C-alpha cells in the first residue's frame, strides 16, 4: 500500500477523534423530549402583571446547528450552495420550531454525515476559483507559516470567535503526519480544515459560563452575543461587520445593538426569518406535504402550491422591511399574486403571468391578512373537508398563545351529516354534545367556523360540497357572535393577548428554548417596548435583541459547555 492510499485513513482517524471530542463535550443527561406548552398564563394588561422580578435570563443547553443553519453557515463560510444538510436526519421540533436546543440531539449517524460533509466541503472549496479559503500559497519546504494563516483565519470565522495560539498549534498537527507519509502539505491543511468543521465549536453555538454551576446571571461576551444575533436574524454565522463590532467590544450599548439589528434586517440574508421563523409560525412549511383530495379539489396542483407559499412569504417579507404594524398581518390590505393564484381566489388577474405583483385588497376584504391566504387555509384543512378545529386551534395557539389541552383518548371523530343539507356548524354542534369534547370545542369551534367561507384549498364559497349553505357564524361562550372572517379578524386583533403572544413566539425562536411561566413578565415587557416604538416587526426584533433574556444567561444544571 502506498503512502497516498493511507491518507484517507488519517482523515477517518481525525474524524473519529473529532467525534470523540464532540461526544465528550455533550456528556450528561440526554436532551429532554420536546415540551409542548398548552396553557400560558394571561398577563394583565397593566404593568402589575410583572410579578416575576427575579430578572432570570435563563440558560440554553449546548445548541447544535440545525439543518437550515448548517447550510446557511457553510454558504457564508465557504461560498457553498450545495445544501449538504439535505442528507442529514430531520431535526426534531419543540415549542413549534426546529431550532430548540434541548431537542437537537446528536446521533452517530448524524456525526458520520458531518464528517462526510466536511470532506466534500473542504475539497470543493480548495479548488473553487476565487475562494477565500486559500489566502496564501503553501510552501512545500516550509508550510507552517501559510498553514497557520489559513487555519487561524478559517477557525476564527468557523468557530465565530477569536482562536488561541494553542488551538492553531493543535490544528497544525496533521502537517507532521502527512509529511511522514510522503504527502504534500496541502493534504495536511485540508485535514485540519475538516477537523475545524467537525469540531463542537463549529457544530454547536457554544456559550461558556465562567462558573457553570452558578445561577447568577451574566452578560454574554461580545462574540456570543454577535452569534445570537446572526442566528436569530440570518440563521447563519456573523458577517465581518458583526465580527468587527464584537472584537471592538461595541455591542455593549443598546444603540449599537439596535443599529446592527436594523442593518442586518436590510440584508438579503434576513430572508431566513421568512423561511425559518414564518415558515413554522405561519405553517407555510407544512404546505409541502398537504394533499387535498384530488377527486374533490382537483384544482390544487404543484404550481398552485408554490404560488400559495410564495404569497405568504412575500407578504411577511414586506413586514420585515416595511412600515406595517406586526398585528396588521391579520388584516393587511395588500397581498402578492400571480395570474393563476388570483384566478384561484376569484380576483382580477394582475396580468403578470406567473410573476408576482403587489395587489391592493381594499375592494376585497375577504382576502385581507394571512387568514385569507390559501397556504394557511389549506394546511389547516382535512384532505376532503374543512376543519374548523384545526383552524380554530391555529388561531388560539399561534396568535393568542391559549391553545387547548390535547384531546382525551378514544374521543370520537366528527359525526357524519345526518341529512344532505346539514352544515358544518351543525355537525360541530352535534360533536360538542359529547361531554369530554364540549369544554375545548366551545373555544376552538367559533374561531374556525368563522372561516367556513373558505374551502379546503382556500377558495371563497357560499355553499359546502354537499350543497348546504355555509354558516360562518361563530358563537363564543359569552354570547358574542363572530359573523364571518372579518369579524373574527377584528376580534383577534383587539385581543390584549395578541402582542404578548407575538413576542412569545419570536422570543422562543430567538432564544432557541421554551419560555417558562416565570418569564411572562419579560415577554410582556418586550411586547410593550415594541408597541411603544411603533409595533412593527422590526420593533419586536429590536426589543428582543435588547432584552436581558437575549443579552444575558446564567449557568446551572441545564447548561452544558465543551
Cβ–Cβ under 8 Å, residues 223 and 161: yes
Q: What is the pLDDT of residues 400-450, one digit of tens each?
A: 999 887 777 666 677 677 677 889 998 888 767 666 666 667 888 999 999
Instruction: Say how far apart CA 441 and CA 310 lie, in whole Å.
Output: 32
pLDDT at 20: 33
pLDDT at 19: 36
* Residue 203 burial class via C-beta count within 10 angstroms: exposed 0-12, middle 13-18, buried 19 and up: buried
pLDDT at 496: 97
pLDDT at 434: 67
| Reported confidence tier of residue 36, pLDDT bands at 50, 70, 90 | very low
Residue 546 has pLDDT above 60, yes or no: yes
| Reported confidence tier of residue 159, pLDDT bands at 50, 70, 90 | very high
Cβ–Cβ under 8 Å, residues 554 and 214: yes
Q: What is the pLDDT of residues 287-308, one digit of tens each?
A: 999 999 999 999 999 999 999 9
Q: What residues contact residue 192 under an 8 Å CB cut-off, 6+ apart?
A: 147, 151, 171, 172, 173, 174, 175
3-state helix, strand, coil in the chain (%, to 5): 55, 5, 40
Q: What is the pLDDT of residues 10-31, one digit of tens each?
A: 333 333 333 333 333 323 333 2
| Reported confidence tier of residue 212, pLDDT bands at 50, 70, 90 | confident
Mode of pairing for the β-strands spanning 552-553 and 218-219 = antiparallel
Residue 507 has pLDDT above 50, yes or no: yes
Residue 38 has pLDDT above 80, yes or no: no
Among 402-416, 473-487, 500-514, 542-556, the range scoring the smallest mean pLDDT is 402-416
Helices 302-321 and 537-546, axial angle in degrees (round to 10): 60
Residue 490 has pLDDT above 70, yes or no: yes
Cβ–Cβ under 8 Å, residues 60 and 54: no
Cβ–Cβ under 8 Å, residues 246 and 223: yes
Higher pLDDT, 432 or 496: 496
Cβ–Cβ under 8 Å, residues 258 and 545: yes
Of 177, 196, 158, 171, the closest CA to residue 74 belongs to 158
Give the best-scoring range by mean pLDDT among 32-36, 44-48, 79-83.
Answer: 79-83
What average pLDDT does range 154-160 have in this prediction? 98
Domain ranges (residues) in the chain = 3-30+63-205, 383-495
pLDDT at 403: 85
Q: By three-state DSSP, how is residue 105 classified?
A: coil
pLDDT at 500: 98
pLDDT at 32: 29
Q: What is the pLDDT of residues 424-435, one digit of tens each?
A: 998 888 767 666
Among 47-51, 59-63, 486-490, 547-551, the range scoring the smallest mean pLDDT is 47-51
What average pLDDT does range 76-101 have in this prediction? 97
Average pLDDT of every residue of the chain: 88
pLDDT at 533: 98
Give the position of cell 447568577. Answer: 216
pLDDT at 50: 57
pLDDT at 12: 36
Of 132, 176, 142, 183, the closest CA to residue 5 belongs to 183
Instruction: Say how far apart CA 329 and CA 133 lie, in whole Å.
Output: 43
Amino acid at each position: 500500500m502506498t503512502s497516498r492510499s493511507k491518507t484517507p485513513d488519517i482523515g477517518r482517524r481525525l474524524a473519529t477523534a473529532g467525534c470523540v471530542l464532540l461526544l465528550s463535550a455533550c456528556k450528561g443527561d440526554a436532551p429532554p423530549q420536546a415540551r409542548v406548552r398548552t396553557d400560558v398564563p394571561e398577563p394583565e394588561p397593566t404593568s402589575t402583571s410583572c410579578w416575576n422580578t427575579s430578572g432570570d435570563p435563563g440558560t440554553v443547553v449546548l445548541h447544535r446547528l440545525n439543518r437550515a443553519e448548517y447550510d446557511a453557515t457553510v454558504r457564508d463560510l465557504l461560498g457553498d450552495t450545495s445544501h449538504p444538510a439535505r442528507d442529514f436526519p430531520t431535526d426534531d421540533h419543540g415549542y413549534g420550531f426546529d431550532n430548540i436546543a434541548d431537542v437537537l440531539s446528536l446521533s452517530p449517524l448524524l456525526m458520520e454525515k458531518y464528517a462526510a460533509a466536511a470532506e466534500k466541503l473542504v475539497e470543493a472549496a480548495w479548488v473553487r476559483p476565487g475562494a477565500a479559503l486559500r489566502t496564501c500559497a503553501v510552501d512545500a519546504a516550509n508550510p507552517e507559516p501559510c498553514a497557520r494563516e489559513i487555519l487561524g483565519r478559517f477557525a476564527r470565522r468557523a468557530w465565530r470567535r477569536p482562536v488561541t495560539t494553542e488551538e492553531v498549534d493543535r490544528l497544525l498537527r496533521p502537517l507532521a503526519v502527512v509529511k511522514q507519509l510522503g504527502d504534500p502539505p496541502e493534504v495536511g491543511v485540508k485535514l485540519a480544515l475538516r477537523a475545524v468543521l467537525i469540531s463542537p465549536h463549529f457544530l454547536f453555538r457554544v456559550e461558556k459560563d465562567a462558573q457553570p454551576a452558578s445561577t447568577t446571571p451574566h452578560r454574554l461576551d461580545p462574540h456570543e452575543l454577535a452569534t445570537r444575533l446572526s442566528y436569530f436574524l440570518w440563521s447563519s454565522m456573523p458577517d465581518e461587520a458583526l465580527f468587527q463590532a464584537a472584537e471592538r467590544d461595541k455591542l455593549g450599548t443598546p444603540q449599537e445593538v439596535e443599529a446592527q439589528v436594523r442593518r442586518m434586517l436590510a440584508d438579503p440574508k434576513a430572508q431566513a426569518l421568512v423561511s425559518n421563523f414564518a415558515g413554522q409560525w405561519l405553517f407555510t412549511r407544512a404546505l409541502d406535504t398537504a394533499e387535498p383530495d384530488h377527486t374533490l379539489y382537483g384544482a390544487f396542483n404543484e404550481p398552485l402550491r408554490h404560488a400559495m407559499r410564495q404569497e405568504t412569504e412575500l407578504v411577511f417579507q414586506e413586514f420585515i422591511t416595511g412600515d406595517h404594524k406586526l398585528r396588521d398581518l391579520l388584516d393587511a390590505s395588500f397581498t402578492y399574486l400571480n395570474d393563476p393564484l388570483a384566478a384561484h381566489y376569484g380576483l382580477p388577474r394582475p396580468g403578470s403571468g406567473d410573476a408576482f405583483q403587489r395587489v391592493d385588497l381594499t375592494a376585497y376584504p375577504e382576502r385581507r391578512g394571512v387568514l385569507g391566504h390559501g397556504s394557511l387555509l389549506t394546511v389547516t384543512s382535512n384532505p376532503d373537508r374543512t376543519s374548523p378545529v384545526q383552524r380554530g386551534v391555529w388561531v388560539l395557539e399561534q396568535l393568542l398563545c391559549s391553545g387547548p389541552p390535547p384531546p382525551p383518548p378514544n374521543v370520537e371523530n366528527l359525526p357524519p351529516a345526518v341529512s344532505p343539507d346539514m352544515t358544518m356548524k351543525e355537525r360541530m354542534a352535534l360533536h360538542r354534545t359529547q361531554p369530554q369534547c364540549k369544554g375545548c370545542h366551545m373555544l376552538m369551534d367559533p374561531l374556525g367556523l368563522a372561516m367556513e367561507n373558505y374551502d379546503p384549498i382556500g377558495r371563497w364559497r357560499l355553499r359546502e360540497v354537499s350543497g348546504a349553505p355555509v354558516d360562518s357564524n361563530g358563537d363564543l361562550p359569552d354570547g358574542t357572535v363572530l359573523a364571518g372572517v372579518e369579524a373574527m379578524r377584528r376580534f383577534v386583533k383587539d385581543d390584549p393577548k395578541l402582542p404578548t403572544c407575538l413576542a412569545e413566539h419570536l422570543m422562543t425562536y430567538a432564544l432557541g428554548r421554551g419560555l417558562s411561566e416565570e418569564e411572562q413578565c419579560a415577554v410582556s415587557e418586550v411586547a410593550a417596548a415594541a408597541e411603544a416604538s411603533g409595533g412593527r416587526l422590526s420593533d419586536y426584533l429590536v426589543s428582543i435583541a435588547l432584552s436581558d433574556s437575549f443579552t444575558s444567561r446564567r449557568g446551572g444544571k441545564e447548561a452544558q459547555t465543551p
